[in-house]
Structure 1
Amino acid sequence: MITIAERLKIAYDRIAKAIKNSHILGQKVALLAVSKTKPSTLIREAYQAGQRQFGESYVQEAVGKIAELSDLSDIEWHFIGPIQSNKSAQVAAHFDWVQSVDRIKIARRLNDQRPAERAKLNVLIQVNIDDEQSKSGCSLSEVDALAQYIATSDNLVLRGVMAIPKKSDSLNEQQHSFAKLQTCFNQLKSQYDSIDTLSMGMSNDVEAAISQGSTMVRIGTDIFGPRN
């Protein structure tokens, strides 16, 4: 049976090949291992293989795993799921990054609820890049106001944008969606010095995302296997 370490190597090799094919000078792409629904034992196995950045979507499940793995002090926890108002305090308390902020109300709650003893919370704006009613994320027209609010909040750091585009098997369609987010990212980067993260690309569209400038891809199934 293939191990987590072997799966991680395959994922990193895939990323390296996509970077080479993208011809973007100096491009660096981080791998966020999406560990939602997977037990902490598998996360520990990935950690032992060198992985440090992990993504979770379900607050209660994640908080339990964070506690179980508290001895691994250099893990970086990213929240990537929709944020309900009644769960925002737990997200603010336990995570290092939140990639799914899509409205000022949630940004305000995360800022107000961030514990004083913790470093500022790194934030990505989630953009509904293809205007799908079933998807979370703000519209492109709402990004500027939300970015300004986050950038001026005492306990938040605006780091970039994230999107989950419309599912497609067409490379051209994938690239078209990612190009729109890249344009949004570049505009924000010209306005805010803290912007450095363009989180786009998952197991089925890593190559398209990297070709359009992604700096972070989110991979779950290819590392941990199918969701439970």
Structure 2
Amino acid sequence: MNWLFDPHNWSGSDGVPVRVAEHLRYSLTAVAIGLVIALPLGLAVGHTGRGKRAVVSCANALRALPTLGIVVLLVILLAPHLHSNLAFSLPSTVALVLLAVPPILANVVAGIDAIDRNVLDAARGVGLGPLSIALGIELPCALPLVLAGVRIAFLQVISGAAIAAYVSLGGLGRLIIDGQAQQNIPEMVSGGVLIAALVVVVDALFAALTAFLVSPGLSRRTGRPVIPFRPASRTRTTPPRTTSPLGEGNA
């Protein structure tokens, strides 16, 4: 671990802070694009219920795609046509977006599917339109699962963003690739440790963000016990006995 604590490795254009910033930039870009794709699609599928099985199956199939293989294939296809850094950054971004879309999409659909149908029927009964229901009721109610999907996507993308270094880009994967080329084991180990530490930090930040954004009722953090509703029991009351003013004997 001497490499990690060497001050020379924390300065300059290829220092650890620069690599961390590059790694986060790749990850944020991929997750943002994945959220733009998956959130509207998940809302549409969850709201209408059409194509739910096909979309979920497609999302699960995307998880099985080899990320490194996609990057190499796209570089081979695009490099003859793009004579700039875009020939390497675009394949990496596409591969990372394919990592980010499945968990977000599946969680958005699952979150909407878990909403009580009576709530949606009541919203339609008061005259709310489809867009108002989707954005005003379904999305807020599904927010815990939506944030969980974004959280999973972000962690997977951060772990997979090291592939960018395989096609001559930056990020913390650069430490692993360069360390392997130079047979510098401490540098390789430091790159892996930094990626793992970044995942832990981002996971903790997402946990705090979820606790801040999601209401206590939806996240079950409220301290009040839930008292089930019980209808009042119908007891048969006996009318009070009245006595004749003339007395019992003269009745």
TM-score by length of 2: 0.22
TM-score by length of 1: 0.24
Larger radius of gyration: 2
